[in-house]
Each structure stands twice: as structure tokens, then as C-alpha cells.
Amino acid sequence: MKHLNEEQLVLYYYGEEAEGRRSTGELSQGVEQHLGACEECRAAYHTLQRVLNSVDSFPVPERAEDYETRVWKSIEGHIGKKRTFSRWFSWRPLALAVAMAAMLVVAFYAGRTVRKPGAGVETADAGQVRERVLLVAVGDHLERSQMVLVELANASTARNGGKLDISYETRTAEDLLEANRLYRQTASSAGDVGTAALLEDLERVLIEIAHSPAAVSTKQLEELRAQIEDRGILFKVKVFGSQLEQRESAPVKGQTTL
């Protein structure tokens, strides 16, 4: 008798079919029949059940009785005031980019003026600070860009009369575009060719999104999606983001690029 593997047991526990859809019952019946007949698999499944049931004991702090009121009070100032809200959102990526660029400049001059050549270790520290600051900033920027790209990659006009409002994405892309230019220039100045190249690719896609109409037709959405897919930008951003995380967590010594 062929035993059930762990994946099958996990999918059965969660009521999922092997290909990722919710169970229609056929697969469940097969697994149930097997579990009824096979003591070994039954024991394995009971252990899995106990483990996963114990996860439910993970404690979540209770909220106060007036929690909902507090949440509402914290956001109600932004509800119904779209223009203010929009501005509040839109200045953040650019402001962050400007702040990061300013920090880089400070770190750069601190390294040149305070720590003179000869103090080798200290100069290396200043370089590392610059590098880390830029890593953080670019990492954040890529994550924000990724969210816009994922939204568009998953968007559909099917249930909206053949039109889709992407005004939020176009506005966000405009904001990201400004920040992207700053980071690309900084990366180029720092001699980090790889980062500059990625940001250049991203910039082209962000320009396309930013220049798109607020409401797109199916065809326009397909074209936009094709731009994203043709350049493989979503994949590149994800891979680069993972690499950045590794580089951030790696020891700082000996790193010379961004």
C-alpha cells in the first residue's frame, strides 16, 4: 500500500486539493479511505493534527472595549478628505528619498572631513554607513514599487465593465518615479552598476504606469502588463530584494558596492 505523504496530509487537514483549490470532496474521500485502512498514516495524521491544533494556542493580546472607536478616531480625519489624504500619501516616498540622499551626503562628508586618510578603519566605517543607508532606502523603495507592480499584474477589468480605475497606481508610480531617479543617480555615483541598471529598468516601467490614464481598458491593461512582463521587472525586483536582504545581513567588512 502506498502511504500518504506529508503534503497530502497537510492539504487534507486544510481541506485543499493538491493543485491548490479547495477540496471538492473527491480527494478528501480518497484520503479518508486510506486513513481508515492504514494505521501508520492515521497515526501520522493525528500527530499533524495535534501539532497544528496546538498552534491555535498562540496568544493574541485582547483589545480594549472601545478599540473600534479608537481605530476610527485615528483615521476619520482622512476619510472623505481625499485631496488631503492623497497629499499625505504622496509626499512620503519622495521625502524619504530626499532624506536618505541627505543622509548619504552627510555620511559621505563625515567620512571625508572628520576621518582623514590614515585612519583606515574609521574611513571604512563611513563607507559602510553610506552603503547601509542606501541599502535600506533602496530596499524600501523596491518593496513599494513591487506592491504597485503586483497590483497591476493581478488586476482585471473583467468585472468592471471592461474598465479599471488605476488612478491610485498611477499616482503612486509618479511618486516612486521621483524617488527612483534619486536612488539611481546615487547608485551610479557610488559606482554600483547593478543597482543603477535595475533602477533604470524600473524607471521605464514606472514611467509607463505614471503616464497611463486613470481608467484603463482591457487592451491598455494588457499592454501595461506586457511591459511589466517583457522586462521581467517584477521578477528582477523580487530577486534583487532578496539579494539586498542577504547583503544587509552579511558582515559589513569587505563590501565595496552598494
Partner 1 sequence: MEDSDSVAVARVKSGDGEAYRGLVDRHSRSVFRLAFRMTGNESDAEDVVQETFMRAYKQLHRWEARSSFSTWLYRIAANYSLDLVRRRKRHAEVGLEESRGNGEDATDVIRALPSTAPGPERLMISGHVQEKVAATLKELSQQERTAFVLRHFEGQSIEEISGALGLSSNAAKHSIFRAVQKLRRALEPLVGEAS
- Binding region for partner 1 (CB under 8 A): 6-7, 10, 14, 16, 19-22, 47-48, 50-55, 57-61, 63, 67-68, 71-72, 74-76, 78-80, 85-86, 89, 129, 132-133, 135-136, 139-140, 143-144, 146-147, 150-151, 153-155, 159-160, 165, 168, 234, 245, 248-249
2/50 with CB nearer partner 1: 50
Query: Distances in Å between the alpha carbon of 121 and those of 118, 128, 134?
Result: 9, 10, 20
Least distance CB 124 / partner 1 (angstroms) = 15
CA-nearest of 34, 26, 27 to 11 is 27
Give the chain's end-to-end CA distance (angstroms, integer).
Answer: 56
Cα–Cα dist 39/80, whole Å? 61
Least distance CB 58 / partner 1 (angstroms) = 5
Residues 11/17, Cβ–Cβ less than 8 Å: yes
32/76 with CB nearer partner 1: 76
How many Cα atoms are found within 13 Å in the side-chain-facing hemisphere of 151?
A: 16
Residues 168/155, Cβ–Cβ less than 8 Å: no
52/116 with CB nearer partner 1: 52
Q: Where do we find the cell 512620503?
A: 92
196/234 with CB nearer partner 1: 234
Least distance CB 118 / partner 1 (angstroms) = 26
Least distance CB 61 / partner 1 (angstroms) = 5
116/235 with CB nearer partner 1: 235
Least distance CB 204 / partner 1 (angstroms) = 20
43/116 with CB nearer partner 1: 43
Least distance CB 252 / partner 1 (angstroms) = 10
Give the other-Cβ count within 10 Å of 59's Cβ. Answer: 5
- Please report which helix (H) or strand (E) contains residue 216, including its range: strand 215-217
Least distance CB 111 / partner 1 (angstroms) = 15
Query: Long-range contacts: 155-163, Cβ < 8 Å, 24+?
Result: 155/221, 156/221, 157/216, 157/217, 157/218, 157/221, 162/217, 162/218, 163/215, 163/216, 163/217
88/109 with CB nearer partner 1: 88
